[in-house]
Homo-oligomer: A and B are copies of this chain.
């Protein structure tokens, strides 16, 4: 599977998926590319090109089967093989992500949270326990977790990242504004909130 879907495409696929979920809730069975395109403000041939990647044929004058599209998107994006992850940093952002149930349906399984604040330790968030950060290396090993979602304050980001790397974490989804220094075998994904906002802001708001 996962034959190198470009970033932009997988981004759009999740948006399409959201629309499919909504159509299913409303009991609508078919959807056309212009409908989707208009909703997202993109070109309709773009939508059809994306759908071709899914091997999902549409029908002229009718459109695509909503249910089939939803299934193909899930299959293509690998929602099936769930990946386990830890949230590191149990501030508001960490808690928000722990409660974000969409993760689960998109194949990301949050097993636990971590923090260095003794007051937070042992709390339950959305049925997930908060552990003291010192327990992390052991749990990484026992549970075979490779992904950490980093939501600590900026000033602790590098230090905590170093600790994660020592603990054999292989993928860091970085929600902090720090640009982490990591060895080449560790992959970082910067969730760059301001970058995407600024694009939005610069384009229209002068």
Contacts and interface: CB of A to CB of B under 8 A. Distances in A.
Oligomeric state, in number of copies? Answer: 2
Interface in A155-182: 171, 173, 177-179, 181
Interface string A181-200: 10000010111111111111
A206 B39 CA distance: 32
Contacts of A197: 106, 108, 173, 189
Nearest to A184: B41
Interface of A: 1-2, 4-7, 10-15, 18-19, 22, 39-40, 77-78, 81, 83, 91-93, 95-96, 99-100, 102-103, 106-108, 146-147, 154, 171, 173, 177-179, 181, 187, 189-206
**List of 4 A-B pairs having minimum Cβ-Cβ separation, nearest first:** A92-B96, A11-B195, A93-B96, A189-B200
